[in-house]
Each structure stands twice: as C-alpha cells, then as structure tokens.
Amino acid sequence: MCVYEKVRAYIDSQGLKQVAVAQKAGIPKTTFNAIMNGKRTLYADDLRAICLALNVSPELFIEVKQTV
C-alpha cells in the first residue's frame, strides 16, 4: 500500500472529511484531492503538514526497515 493510500485509509477510518484535513493542513483542496487519488506526488512537506493536521507521526504511514 502506498503512503497516500495509508493516509486516505486513516482519514476514512477516523470519520474525517478530506476537505477538513486539507484546510487544517493548509493544502488547497484540489491539490489534496489529487494527492489522495494518486494523481500528484505526496511530497515530504505535504506529509508533514497532513500529519500535523491529524496530530499523528509520519511513522504511522511510512515503514522504515532497519538493516543489521
């Protein structure tokens, strides 16, 4: 599952409206919609703003594999 898909699934599971998250994150709703539909790249700055709006850590959406 891609990061944007994880973000979208989280927003849906919390019963939130995408437009409300976009507004709180300071991302135009058309841009946010394009990100959530995989039509625009989800940049690190966008993810940071979304995570701040949702009050969650980016680690919730990104898997970091550790090598030994």
pLDDT > 70: percent of the chain: 99
In degrees and rounded to multiples of 5, residue 46 shows phi and psi of -65, -45
Three-state DSSP class for 58? helix
Domains of the chain as residue ranges with CATH: 3-56 (1.10.260.40)
Three-state DSSP class for 43? coil
Q: What is the pLDDT of residues 4-25, one digit of tens each?
A: 999 999 999 999 999 999 999 9
Token duo for residue 44: 């690190």
With tokens 């699934």, the residue in question is: 9
Does position 35 have pLDDT exceeding 90, yes or no?
yes
Distance CA 18, CA 64 (A): 26
